[in-house]
Amino acid sequence: MPTEEFTETEMLVQWNKYAQRLGDKGHKIMQSLLLINDPKLNGTTITFELPNEGSKLDFEGQIHGLLGHLKGHLHNHDITIEVNVNEAIEVKRSLNDQDRYNRLMEINPNIDLLRTTFGLDLHT
């Protein structure tokens, strides 16, 4: 089984792609759980915090599909996901266009090049 190295940014891109795919298929609850906050990477262990035990149970019930996606797209079968409950985390519920744009810029700074090249503007 492959065990290629990958960065946290690459992991975040695949995490968000999987969330988008779930949303496109109508699995909005799991999509929103994946987008509550950003997972952290330590070696091949992904640590993810959720706001309560109920959301942790929902997430863990669907974790195998996410793990399969990450292992396949990041070419590393040593990946594990550790889920913690942190009731103090701030849930990101309503993001405006600027918030989404800033988040995309964190993932890929070339987004700004696209925006300026095509003369795009944010409508908030």
Q: Radius of gyration of the chain from Cα atoms? A: 15
Per-residue confidence (pLDDT) for residue 13, from 0 to 100: 95
- Predicted local confidence at residue 98, as pLDDT: 75
Query: Any alpha helices (H) in the chain, and if so which ranges?
Result: 8-24, 28-34, 53-61, 63-74, 97-107, 110-117
- The DSSP secondary structure of 98-115, one letter per residue, reads HHHHHHHHHH-THHHHHH
pLDDT truncated to tens, each residue of the chain (124 aa)?
A: 889 999 999 999 999 999 999 999 999 889 989 998 899 999 999 999 998 898 999 999 889 999 999 999 999 999 999 999 987 765 555 567 777 777 788 788 888 888 888 888 866 4
pLDDT at position 113 is: 87
